[in-house]
Amino acid sequence: MKILVDAPINSLSLGNVSFNIIKELFEKGHEVGIWPMNEQNIDVSAYDMTEDFQSKFKEAIDSRFDFLSPDIPSLKIWHLNGSENRKNSKQYLYTFYECSKPTDVERKLCNSQERTIFSSSCAASQFDADYIPLGLDPEFKPTGKKYLEGVTHFGLMGKFEKRKHTAKIINTWVKKYGNNNKYQLSCCVTNPFFKSEEMSHLINSALEGQRYNNVNFLPFLKTNQEVNEFINAIDIDLTGLSGGEGWNLPAFNSTCLGKWSVVLNKTSHKDWANKNNSVLVESSGQMDCADGKFFAKGGQFNQGVFYDWNFDSVISAMETAESKVGQINTEGQKLADKFTYSNTVDKILSLIS
């Protein structure tokens, strides 16, 4: 099949998804044209690429104009906002949605595609659209190394946001484990949309102006290899406490690698997290998604609520996860066989064909 992939090519979450889908299309022998979003910011430095793959990748970008045709399907990997911009008439949109109340504009954009595919069954059901799950990036795998022996190591990854409860997670953790050297929290929560002084203010606020000797804030990890080291170094992942996700790659990846994840039992988490492979936390209620930065009340996009949790239930879940440290999460590891990018691509192609 000839197919044009219109997608961001970078080291962020959408870029990671795009890269893995393109890689699978190559491996399955399809003719691929790549139309990078924002051609000035193409960045594949995060990925481990052979010379042969690099050559194919460059050729697919250089030949993208040859794939402009009403007879060639285009796979766009992007948000609903912006999906109206298309290269070919037959556009299949693979997209992500975290909120709860689709607007008229979002529904029109969804319905204007040849097919719209969501990464979350929760989102797909709200739009009456298709659902195809993501998979584990094969670059993430056990290293076999020993890291902080004698210390229970918690990890938190993902952009600092109200939606993700970043500040609340950090604040809850330090109230339980702060300055106890038997425990450590490593946070990789840099948000590129905040200036450095804004990030410092947010972190200081989360810590209520206190200093803790067992909390680390890491810079943005530029490569998959660095991210893989981070996942392997921790025992317990807290990223799953986000209040609204389209999949939640960091929590999913950690669980696939046999780590113990504390996960809010809502939105896309329900597609892969269950009581056997995660420590589930039930929601205590809802909160308006407006945050004054990324989600604006009354707009044409991203309206509704995210889900919340209470302090006591999360402390209890952390303690449960702590009791499992030392045991490999074998049920979590099974997710790596169930959710693969090969399956993702096969299902996308079956819809297109």
The pLDDT of 226-240, averaged and rounded, is 98
Q: Where are the domains of the chain?
A: 2-136+341-352, 152-338
Residue 39 has a pLDDT of 80
- Average pLDDT for 159-171: 97
Q: Which option is the CATH number for 152-338: 3.40.50.920, 3.30.70.330, 3.40.50.2000, 3.40.50.720? A: 3.40.50.2000
Pick from 244, 241, 310, 249: nearest CA to 279: 241
Mean pLDDT of 125-146: 97
For the domain spanning 2-136+341-352, the CATH number is: 3.40.50.2000
Q: What is the pLDDT of residues 99-125, one digit of tens each?
A: 999 999 999 999 999 999 999 999 999
Average pLDDT score over residue span 292-300? 93
Average pLDDT of the residues in 38-50:
90
pLDDT at 224: 97
Q: Residue range 46-55: average pLDDT? A: 95
CA angle 78, 106, 98 (to 5 degrees): 65
Question: Is the per-residue pLDDT at 40 higher than 80?
Answer: no
Token output for 272: 């892969």
Closest of 211, 265, 217 to residue 242, by C-alpha? 265
**Over residues 127-134, mean pLDDT:** 98
Domains 2-136+341-352 and 152-338 share a fold: yes
Q: How many CB atoms sit inside 10 A of residue 228's CB?
A: 19
Percent pLDDT > 90 in the chain is 97
Q: Which helix H or strand E contains 196, and what residues bound it?
A: helix 196-206
Element (H, E) at 285: strand 285-288
Average pLDDT, the chain: 97
Integer CA distances (angstroms), 307 to 128, 215, 344, in order: 22, 26, 27
| pLDDT attached to residue 267 | 98
Per-residue pLDDT for 342 more than 90? Answer: yes
- Give the mean pLDDT of 8-30: 97
Average pLDDT over residues 72-95: 98
Going by pLDDT thresholds of 50, 70 and 90, the confidence category of residue 41 is confident
Q: Is the pLDDT of residue 250 over 80?
A: yes
Distance CA 6, CA 93 (A): 9
pLDDT of residue 176: 98
Average pLDDT over residues 163-170: 98
Tokens of 102: 């689709």
